[in-house]
Amino acid sequence: MNNQTICILGLGYVGLPLAVEFSKKYKVVGFDINEKRINELNQSIDHTSQVESEDLKVAIIDGLTFTSEEQKIKDANIFIVTVPTPIDENRIPDLRQLLDASSIIGRNLKKGDYVIYESTTYPGCTEEDCVPVLEKLSGLQMNEDFFVGYSPERINPGDKVNTLTKIKKVTSGSSPEAATFIDELYGSIITAGTHKAPSIRVAEASKAIENAQRDINISFVNELALIFDKMGINTQDVLEAASTKWNFLKFTPGLVGGHCISVDPYYLAYKSTQLGYTPKVITSGREVNEHMPYFVAEKLMRLMLEKEIQIKGSNILILGATFKENTPDTRNTKLHVIIEEFKKNGANTFLYDPLIKEFCKEPMENSYDSILILVLHIQFAELNLTSLLKDKSKKIIFDLKSSRPDNIADAIL
């Protein structure tokens, strides 16, 4: 197996760590259509902070190559696809990048090759949408000439503990032999082990439900936050009390953004609807979570009014512009909704996020009427929030994560 050449298509949060890990055992070529990304990687710079510069340097010395030239991938015999699978403005799956990557592979596919998809999608997508592109452009037949698999990625950006090799990997293949080959391929790098699913569809579905389940669970506690806000009850206090029962599931309310949890349930819902069943739980969970940024903006402005601070002309400081803590990833952050709500009411918004170049200028003392902590990067622990407020007696700090150890906030979700 070690004489294989692997090509990873799409060198983002998922593809780059995978390329680095495989390069420890195999010849790997990383391919991305984004030339800027390739130039940066060739200088050992990873703007996603997933791979340390030192590790990237070692991998390059050991033979990992990066390219955006299609002819440089033609010698590969295993192609792994890790390109984005977003939704469009109508929340319909946008498969363009997945199908483009399939076209690139199709033009370079040879007899005996393997194509493995890792991008998150709906059950059936690999076989119904991607394989026809591979077959058409290569003139080859799946399971006669080449083989296909699906192995969903489960990494958690910013998490330095649960990294690629430490998370059990689900694998699958287009034939029993292909499934075994793919399972052994991943088994050779994933120390946590693998789980061979009985079919590609099962593997696709397993990924879709992991994220949908999390979305629904968060939507439930978000709904509780909406209800308890009306009742004047502190949601965190309620959750803490309820969590003393052994089978109570611990989730905390908050904004659901990012590339996975806020997107993937739409993939499952889309396919289900196409097949004649319109999901209820999945879609209402999404609705509640999509509503949360409006609620957060309204709640902060309500707090300000209660303390007799005019919204019009006020200065609101937002801490954290990314979709979650300790990652520079801003995809589907709900920030713009909140800023828009403040703007509609005439407030000025200031952003501080040390992980984002354009927002990394430190906030100024005595300058803001209220503070909204959206995500809690470790750097924020050192901030003296009270010193940033104009009026120290009107301490309007809304901590969405309710996790600052000094418990300085006067409002939480």
260 is catalytic: yes
- The count of chain residues that interact with ligand NAD, using the rule CB under 6 A, is 28
- Per DSSP (E only), the strands in 58-163 are 65-67, 78-81, 114-117, 147-150
Residue 14 found at the interface with ligand NAD (CB under 6 A): yes
- Residues 125, 130, 260, 360: which is the catalytic one? 260
Q: What are the CA-CA distances from residue 152 to residues 10, 96, 301, 354 (Å)? A: 14, 19, 41, 31
Classify 279 as helix, strand or coil.
coil
Q: Which of 44, 49, 97, 163 binds ligand NAD (CB under 6 A)?
A: 97
Q: Which of 95, 260, 316, 373 binds ligand NAD (CB under 6 A)?
A: 260
Q: Which residues of 49-74 are buried (b: 16+ CB within 10 A; e: fewer)?
A: ebbeeeebeebbeeebbbbbeeeebe
C-alpha–C-alpha distance, residues 102 and 12, integer Å: 17
Closer to ligand NAD by Cβ: residue 31 or 147: 31
104-143 residues in contact with ligand NAD (CB under 6 A) are 104, 119-120
Q: Which of 6, 7, 11, 316 binds ligand NAD (CB under 6 A)?
A: 11
C-alpha–C-alpha distance, residues 402 and 214, integer Å: 20
Say if CB 90 and CB 270 are below 8 A apart.
no
Annotate 210-262 with three-state secondary structure.
HHHHHHHHHHHHHHHHHHHHHHCCCHHHHHHHHCCCCCCCCCCCCCCCCCCCC
22-41 residues in contact with ligand NAD (CB under 6 A) are 31-34, 37
Of the candidate spans 11-19, 176-184, 236-244, 377-385, the one that interacts with ligand NAD by CB under 6 A turns out to be: 11-19
Of the candidate spans 99-107, 232-240, 275-283, 368-376, the one that interacts with ligand NAD by CB under 6 A turns out to be: 99-107
C-alpha–C-alpha distance, residues 87 and 82, integer Å: 16
Mark residues 138-157: x for contact with ligand NAD by CB under 6 A, - for none: ---------------xxx-x
Closest CB 383 distance from ligand NAD, rounded Å: 27
Residue nearest to ligand NAD (CB): 12
Catalytic site residues? Answer: 260
The residues that touch ligand NAD, with contacts defined as CB under 6 A, are 9-15, 31-34, 37, 82-85, 97, 100-101, 104, 119-120, 153-155, 157, 259-260
